[in-house]
């Protein structure tokens, strides 16, 4: 039985046919619990990181900057300034005397040298405590250098990763708003026909390009992707889109709501993981634009893609039917898609959870999953390892921190986090996903694991 | 050789560059100090690292360590909030310790303070004292150790040493002098640690390695999940450090600061030996001679054969390496050890860089350079932007360092031999060997093969016989 701290008992649930109260969530991680979550800074950094022509300067001691240097699979079709790690590298004397002057000098020299399209300055834990007025430094440098210099209030302890998402969205609005005001003043603010923005899509392994291509094929132009393969100029034009499609809803719904409020752009949540969700995203867009020809194009596209894909998936399904999966990801919305995608492969989700889900997310997960599934919020390695054994899991889907837990327990693994280098979105992504899952689940190595249920005492397969 | 080897070009330092020097760190060649402390605490049996700070620090460091070792690395956090940052973290520290004890049943909890808790002035020693006063009579009460590791002071190496010092300072006790040897290996690989145990036992010596993550960060598969991986220095051994016959600490940089060996000498009069990191012939000879003297035994025949094998390889391979130029970067003690070895092979380390600023790198490099040679240029406080620029000017044949230099190596078309931390883009990082004659031999094979592979790949004929 998984060891669960008393204060976490209501953050764990088993779907058992009974009515149940909402899963407790949205709270700070219990001290000492070894949460898989990161912090506010992490939330801001992951959202803004893919903006490739911006300078990203981490203001603080070195740790936050080095641990986030070039670790994501977010690709750029052009500039790659985002793949550097810039930091004010605060030292003890800066902590005593304040870091504003150093921040000013660092920002100025970096902007002069790299000529970025905009700069983001991430305030980390101690910046506020030592009394640095980051916003004032940013204003000064912006005026002197003539570009947007945006403070990102991302002190690690000031909330959870979700608050970091909000800080990132606020930072993005500081780019969008002045551009929209200027465009409006110049009479150029009109909505562009059949245009969308993709929000919460980070171009991991080129996924943005796959999605943009699908939308292009049905006659929809993506103005900006926030923030995959991101460019400041595109973000400045994003207020002219007719529709915002929000993929990672946990991080970007807040921005979508602001854009709806300020520019009247409606938004829809979509997912591009799994066949059903990807197809639905295209249908939703076509439906929104109300153009019958677009609707036909969307259906043709899906039919075309599936005619190639389904026979291939059948083979994987034959190899994976009946296997049991665990999902632990950052945002719950991705978990919905994964449950459906696994189902398409004949697999059953027996454990599912997220770092940052809300009550509504967990209610939906409960509806979606089969009886007996365990649902967890903000879990930790010890709970996960207990559930992997208890639920007889064959495959874990998660990130780098979940991988060794699965492997030590003799369980297969699929990386569905930001570090991955293989596109899992779209129709082609579903095929990659099936291949990834099959490669791990059907590897011969598991038969030798001491805890494996097919191991006989002589080590052979029973 | 495929082509007649060109005469080595005269080595000249690059001319001063036009680019201004930057105050900002651009792709830092260092990590933050709590990482080093966490690594040390995972090298104690039943040891649980605990960061008193924001949740993110623990999570980022876990991910960094996991990606290198490919093993579970659990690090607890007190998880500061806005409120605790204002009113102090006493409550969450206690709560966190309670939760860790309940879930992990640790034998030791190593509390490292992050920049946040240090900046707000948390009195962690005082808080731990209170906690111990309140709970120490409870069953299975763990040892509690605090290391001060704000990331605005030093690098991951400083955090590593601070944690080792904290273990020794808090736990070592005096008593009748035993015959064990206290060994402070520094930040070496898991495989190196395992090998060190063997080297000492070959001389009939029983080492207490501090830390020893040789098994805890490179272990077997499990039947049942373990809250804390097996292996590590037992707490009772850490207590016995004050009763050891001698202490040996590696690292010429560490030698210049107050180290754990000094502490044992000062407090318990344990004789102290400060050696270089035993990479290559001379530095390993120094270790073996020391062990022979301490044990009163001759160097074992097997080890002598290993030395012979290394010498034989140095001869067989010398023409592949003679005159080649290398740039080394990473942890200072590692860089000095590698430089010492490279100069024995004919490779010329032209630039030795580190993100640390001990102020002693140049001096340590001079000490390992033969008297008739110019010592390599030392560069402290380096980042990868500067390093890449230097590499473009020096045009070395080889780069030796961690994975973070890969993009530089790729852009410049220079082979990168992966050593140090982190190695995130190759398999088996925990099993990379450097120490002892046989460790040097493994490293040597990799060096020569990198040069051969490069020559083969860039040769138009494509010989399969080199």
Instruction: Look at residue A367 in the predicted model and tell me its pLDDT.
Output: 92
> Are B77 and A31 a contacting pair at CB < 8 A?
yes
Burial class (CB in 10 A: 0-12, 13-18, 19+), A133: middle
Give the H/E segment covering residue B329: strand B325-329
Query: pLDDT tens, B171-197?
Result: 999 999 999 999 999 999 999 999 999
The token pair at A109 is 């020299």
**Which CATH architecture does the domain made up of A6-24+317-448 adopt?**
3-Layer(aba) Sandwich (3.40)
Token reading at A142: 């912006």
- Asked whether the beta carbons of residue B221 and residue A63 sit closer than 8 angstroms, the reply is no
CATH no. for A40-182: 3.40.50.1980
Whether the predicted pLDDT of B268 surpasses 80: yes
Whether B93 shows a pLDDT value over 90: the answer reads yes
Token pair of B245, please? 């016959």
Residue pointed to by tokens 């050890």? B337
pLDDT of A250 reads 84
Of B26, B67, B76, the CB nearest to A84: B26
Chain B stretch 263-322, residues whose beta carbon is closer than 8 A to a beta carbon of chain A: none
- Categorize the per-residue pLDDT at B3 as very low, low, confident or very high, splitting at 50, 70 and 90: very low
* pLDDT tens profile A363-393: 999 999 999 999 999 999 999 999 999 999 9
Give the closest residue to B403 by CA, choosing from A66, A49, A61, A416. Answer: A66
Q: Contact at 8 Å (CB) between A245 and A307?
A: no
Nearest C-alpha in A relative to B111: A32
Contact B23, A105 (CB under 8 A): yes
pLDDT at A454 over 60: no
Chain B residues near residue A403 by CB distance under 8 angstroms: 66, 70
CB proximity B116 to A under 8 Å: yes
Residue B19 pLDDT greater than 80, yes or no:
no
Neighbours of B64 (CB within 10 A): 25
Q: How far apart are CA A76 and CA A68, in angstroms?
A: 17
Return the sign of the alpha-carbon dihedral for residues A328, A333, A336, A339.
negative
Chain B nearest CA to A15, separation (Å): 25
Separation of alpha carbons B218 and A310, rounded Å: 42
pLDDT tens for A2-30 read 788 888 999 999 998 888 889 999 888 89
Q: Residue A344 corresponds to which tokens in the numbers above? A: 């398409």
Closest alpha carbon within chain B to A387: B225
Using N-to-C axis directions, what is the helix angle for A332-344 and A275-289, rounded to 10°? Answer: 120
Say if A6-24+317-448 and A186-299 have the same CATH topology. Answer: yes
* pLDDT tens digits along A63-113: 999 999 998 889 999 999 999 999 999 999 999 999 999 999 999 999 999
Helix A332-344 vs helix A249-263: crossing angle, to nearest 10: 120
For B:409-448, CB contacts with A below 8 A are none
Per-residue DSSP letter, B20 = P
> CA–CA separation, A427 vs A304, rounded Å?
10
A31 Cβ under 8 Å from any chain B Cβ: yes
> What is the pLDDT, as a whole number, of residue A455?
43
Specify burial of residue A114 (Cβ count, 10 A radius: 0-12, 13-18, 19+). middle
Chain A nearest-CA residue for B60: A67
Sort out which chain B residues have CB atoms less than 8 A from A129's CB and list them.
85, 116, 119-120
Query: What does the block give as tokens for B263?
Result: 């502490």
Which pLDDT band, with edges at 50, 70 and 90, does A273 fall under? very high
* Chain centroid to CA B461: 42
Token pair listed for A366: 């409960």
Least Cα distance to B93 among B73, B74, B72, B116 occurs for B116
pLDDT level of residue B63 (50, 70, 90 thresholds): very high
Report the candidate in A451, A433, A235, A245 with the shortest Cα–Cα distance to residue A343: A433
Contact of B423 with B429, CB cutoff 8 Å: yes
Place of tokens 């060190």: B196
Cα angle vertex A57, ends A52, A61, to 5°?
140
Distance, in angstroms, between A248 CA and closest chain B CA?
A: 21
| Structure confidence by residue, pLDDT tens digits, A178-188 | 999 999 999 88
CB contact under 8 A, B23 and A105: yes
CA distance B56 to chain A (A): 4
Contact B92/A31, CB-based, under 8 Å? Answer: yes
3-class secondary structure, B35? helix
* Topology annotation, domain A186-299: Rossmann fold (3.40.50)
Helices (H) and strands (E) in chain A, counts: 17, 14
Cβ-Cβ contacts under 8 Å, A57 against chain B: 24
Q: What's the gap in Å between the CA of A239 and the closest CA on chain B?
A: 33
Mean pLDDT of chain B: 94
- pLDDT exceeding 70 applies to what percent of chain A? 97
The predicted structure's pLDDT at residue A111 = 98
Is the per-residue pLDDT at A267 higher than 60? yes
Element (H, E) at A112: helix A100-114
Contacts of A406 in chain B (CB under 8 A): none
- Cα end-to-end span (Å), chain B: 6
* 3-state SS, one letter per residue, for B395-445: CCCEEEECHHHHHHHHHHCCCEEECCCCCCCCCCHHHCCCCHHHHHHHHHH
> Given pLDDT bands bounded at 50, 70 and 90, which one contains residue A453?
low
Residue A1 has pLDDT above 70, yes or no: no
Omega of the bond leading into A215 within 30 degrees of 0 (cis):
no
Query: Measured between CB atoms, which of A36, A90, A382 is closest to B59?
Result: A36
Check whether A410 has a pLDDT greater than 60: yes
Which residue on chain A is closest to B425 by alpha carbon? A71
- List Cβ neighbours of B448 (8 Å cut-off, separation of 6 or more): B317, B320, B321
Judged against a pLDDT cut of 60, whether residue B13 lies above it is answered with no
Of the candidates A109, A179, A107, A97, the one whose C-alpha atom is nearest the C-alpha of residue A139 is A107
Determine the pLDDT at residue A461. 40
For residue B279, what are the CA distances in angstroms to A425, B210, B335, B440? 48, 19, 10, 6
Q: How far is CA A388 from the centre of its chain?
A: 24
Q: Which residue in the set B31, B81, B96 is minimally distant from A32, CB to CB?
A: B96
Q: What is the mean pLDDT of residues A456-460?
A: 41
pTM: 0.95
Altogether, the residues listed in chain A come to a count of: 462
Domains of chain B: 23-171 (3.40.50.1980), 301-457 (3.40.50.1980)
Q: Is A32 on the interface with B (CB under 8 A)?
A: yes
Q: Do A32 and B115 touch (CB under 8 A)?
A: no
Higher-scoring residue by pLDDT: A19, B406: B406
* Choice among A39-43, A446-450, B217-221 with the minimum mean pLDDT: A446-450
Q: What is the pLDDT of residues B390-405, one digit of tens each?
A: 999 999 999 999 999 9
Burial annotation B451-466 (CB, 10 A radius, 16+ → b, else e) = beeebeeeeeeeeeee
Average pLDDT rounded to a whole number, residues A395-413: 94
pLDDT tens digit sequence for B44-61: 999 999 999 999 999 999
Decide if B153 touches A, using CB distance below 8 A.
Answer: yes
How far, in Å, CA of A25 to CA of B256, rounded? 51
A453 secondary structure, DSSP code? T
Query: Distance (Å, rounded) from C-alpha B272 to C-alpha B250?
Result: 11
How many residues in chain B?
Answer: 466
As a whole number, mean pLDDT of residues A435-453 equals 89
Determine the pLDDT at residue B464: 87
Q: Which of B52, B56, B81, B88 to substitute to test the interface with A, most A CBs within 10 Å?
A: B56
Chain B: closest CA distance from residue A133 (Å): 17
CB A425 within 8 A of CB A211: yes
DSSP B64: H
Q: How many helices (H) and strands (E) does chain B have?
A: 17, 14
8 Å CB contact of B30 and A110: no
**What HEC string does B154-211 produce?**
CCHHHHHHHHHHHHHHHHCCCCCCCCCEEEECCCCCHHHHHHHHHHHHHCCCCEEECC
| Candidates A37, A49, A62, A88, partner chain B, best to mutate (most B CBs within 10 A) | A62
**Which of A1-10, A253-262, A322-331, B242-251 is least confident?**
A1-10
Q: With beta carbons under 8 A apart, name residues in chain B contacting A85.
A: 25-28
Distance CA A104, CA B449 (A): 47
Closest by CA position to B208, among listed B149, B249, B170, B161: B249
CB spacing of B95 vs A32 below 8 angstroms: yes
Chain A contact for B18 (CB, 8 A cutoff): no
Nearest chain A alpha carbon to B69 = A404
Q: Hey, is A58 helix, strand or coil?
A: strand
Q: Does B174 touch chain A (CB under 8 A)?
A: no
Give percent of chain B above pLDDT 90. 93
> In A142-175, which positions are buried (b, 16+ CB within 10 angstroms) versus exposed (e)?
beebebbbbbbbbbbbbbbbbbbbbbbbbbbbbb
What is the per-residue pLDDT for A451? Answer: 67
Q: CB-hemisphere CA count at 13 Å for A101?
A: 7
Question: Residues 326 to 365 of B: which have CB under 8 A from any A CB?
Answer: none
User: Which two tokens mark B159?
Assistant: 């955090």
Per-residue pLDDT tens digits for B227-238: 999 999 999 999
CB B404 within 8 A of CB A67: no
Residue B4: pLDDT band (50, 70, 90) is: very low
Give chain A positions within 8 Å (CB) of B93. 31
Please tell me the distance in Å from A7's CA to the nearest CA on chain B: 10
Interchain contact, B59 vs A3, CB within 8 Å: no
Mean pLDDT of A414-421: 90
Tell me how far apart the alpha carbons of residues B116 and B58 are, in angstroms, rounded to a whole number.
13
**Confidence check: pLDDT of B5 > 60:** no
What is the Cα–Cα distance from B41 to A313, expressed in whole angstroms? 47
pLDDT at B14 exceeding the cut of 90: no
Nearest to B60 among A3, A28, A67 (CB): A67
What is the nearest CA distance from A307 to chain B, expressed in angstroms? 37
Sorted by where each begins, the domain ranges of chain A are: 6-24+317-448, 40-182, 186-299
- Specify the residue for token string 């430094």: A137
Residues A280-307 pLDDT 10s: 999 999 999 999 999 999 999 999 999 9
Interfacial B residues in 36-65 facing A (CB < 8 Å): 50, 53-64
């Amino acid at each position: 039985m998984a060891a669960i701290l008393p204060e976490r008992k209501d953050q764990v649930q088993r779907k058992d046919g009974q009515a149940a109260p909402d899963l407790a969530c949205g709270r700070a991680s219990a001290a000492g619990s070894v949460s898989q979550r990161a912090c506010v800074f992490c939330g801001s950094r992951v959202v803004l990181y893919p903006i490739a022509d911006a300078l990203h300067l981490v203001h603080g001691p070195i740790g936050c900057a080095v641990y986030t240097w070039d670790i994501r699979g977010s690709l750029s079709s052009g500039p790659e300034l985002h793949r550097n790690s810039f930091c004010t590298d605060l030292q003890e004397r800066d902590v005593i005397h304040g870091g504003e002057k150093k921040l000013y000098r660092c920002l100025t020299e970096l902007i002069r040298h790299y000529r970025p399209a905009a700069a983001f300055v991430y305030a980390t834990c101690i910046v506020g405590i030592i009394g640095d007025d980051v916003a004032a430094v940013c204003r000064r440098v912006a005026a002197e250098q003539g570009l947007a210099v945006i403070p990102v209030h991302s002190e690690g302890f000031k909330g959870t990763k979700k608050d970091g998402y909000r800080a990132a969205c606020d930072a993005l609005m500081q780019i969008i708003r002045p551009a929209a005001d200027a465009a409006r003043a110049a009479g150029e603010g009109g909505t562009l026909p059949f245009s969308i923005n993709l929000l919460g899509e980070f171009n991991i392994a080129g996924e943005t390009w796959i999605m943009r291509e699908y939308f292009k094929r049905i006659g929809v132009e993506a103005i900006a992707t926030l923030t995959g393969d991101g460019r400041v100029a595109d973000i400045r034009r994003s207020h002219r889109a007719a529709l915002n499609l929000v993929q990672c809803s946990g991080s970007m719904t807040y921005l979508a709501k602001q854009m709806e409020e300020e520019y009247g752009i409606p938004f829809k949540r979509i997912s591009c993981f799994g066949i059903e969700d990807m197809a639905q995203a295209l249908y939703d867009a076509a439906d929104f634009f109300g153009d019958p020809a677009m609707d036909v194009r969307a259906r043709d596209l899906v039919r075309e893609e599936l005619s190639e894909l389904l026979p291939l998936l059948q083979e994987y399904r034959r190899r994976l039917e009946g296997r049991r999966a665990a999902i632990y990801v950052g945002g719950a919305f991705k978990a919905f898609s994964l449950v459906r995608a696994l189902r398409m492969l004949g697999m059953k989700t027996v454990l599912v959870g997220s770092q940052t889900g809300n009550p509504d997310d967990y209610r939906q997960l409960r509806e979606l999953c089969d009886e007996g599934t365990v649902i967890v919020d903000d879990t930790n390695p010890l709970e996960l390892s207990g559930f992997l054994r208890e639920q007889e899991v064959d495959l874990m889907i998660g990130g780098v921190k979940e991988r060794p837990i699965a492997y030590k327990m003799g369980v297969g693994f699929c990386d569905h986090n930001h570090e991955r280098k293989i596109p899992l979105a779209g129709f082609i992504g579903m095929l990659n996903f099936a291949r990834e899952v099959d490669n791990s689940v059907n590897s011969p190595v598991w038969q030798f694991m001491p805890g494996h249920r097919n191991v006989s005492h002589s080590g052979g397969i029973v | 050789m495929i082509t007649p080897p060109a005469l080595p070009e005269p080595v000249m330092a690059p001319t001063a560059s036009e680019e201004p020097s930057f105050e900002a760190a651009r792709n830092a060649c260092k990590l933050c100090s709590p990482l080093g402390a966490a690594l040390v605490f995972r090298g104690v049996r039943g040891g649980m690292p605990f960061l008193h700070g924001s949740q993110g620090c623990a999570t980022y460091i876990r991910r960094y360590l996991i990606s290198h070792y490919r093993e579970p690395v659990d690090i607890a956090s007190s998880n500061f909030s806005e409120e605790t940052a204002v009113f102090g973290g006493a409550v969450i520290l206690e709560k966190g310790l309670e939760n860790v004890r309940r879930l992990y049943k640790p034998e030791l909890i190593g509390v490292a303070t992050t920049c946040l808790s240090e900046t707000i002035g948390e009195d962690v020693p005082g808080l731990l004292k209170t906690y111990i006063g309140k709970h120490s009579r409870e069953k299975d009460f763990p040892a509690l150790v605090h290391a001060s590791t704000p990331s605005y002071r030093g690098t991951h190496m400083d955090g590593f040493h601070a944690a080792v010092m904290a273990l020794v300072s808090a736990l070592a006790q005096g008593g009748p002098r035993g015959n064990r040897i206290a060994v402070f290996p520094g930040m070496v690989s898991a495989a190196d640690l395992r090998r060190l145990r063997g080297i000492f036992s070959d001389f009939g010596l029983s080492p207490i390695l501090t830390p020893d993550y040789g098994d805890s960060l490179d272990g077997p598969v499990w039947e049942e999940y373990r809250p804390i991986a097996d292996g590590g220095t037992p707490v009772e051994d850490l207590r016995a450090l004050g009763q050891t016959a001698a202490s040996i600490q590696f690292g010429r940089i560490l030698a210049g600061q107050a180290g754990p060996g000094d502490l044992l000498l000062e407090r318990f009069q344990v004789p102290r030996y400060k050696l270089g990191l035993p990479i290559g012939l001379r530095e390993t000879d120094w270790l073996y001679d020391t062990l022979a003297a301490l044990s009163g035994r001759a160097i074992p025949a097997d080890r002598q054969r290993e030395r012979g094998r290394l010498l034989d390889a140095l001869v067989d391979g010398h023409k592949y390496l003679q005159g080649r130029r290398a740039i080394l970067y990473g942890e200072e003690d590692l860089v000095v050890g590698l430089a010492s070895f490279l100069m024995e092979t004919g490779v010329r380390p032209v630039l030795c860089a580190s993100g640390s600023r001990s102020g002693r790198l140049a001096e340590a490099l001079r000490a390992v350079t033969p008297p008739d040679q110019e010592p390599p240029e030392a560069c402290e406080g380096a980042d990868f932007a500067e390093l890449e620029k230097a590499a473009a000017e020096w045009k070395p044949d080889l780069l030796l360092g961690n994975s973070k230099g890969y993009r530089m190596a790729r852009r410049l078309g220079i082979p990168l031999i992966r050593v140090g931390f982190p190695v995130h883009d190759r398999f088996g990082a925990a099993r990379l060997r450097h120490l002892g004659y046989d460790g040097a031999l493994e490293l040597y094979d990799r060096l020569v093969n990198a040069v051969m592979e490069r020559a083969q790949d860039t040769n138009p004929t494509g010989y399969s016989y080199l």
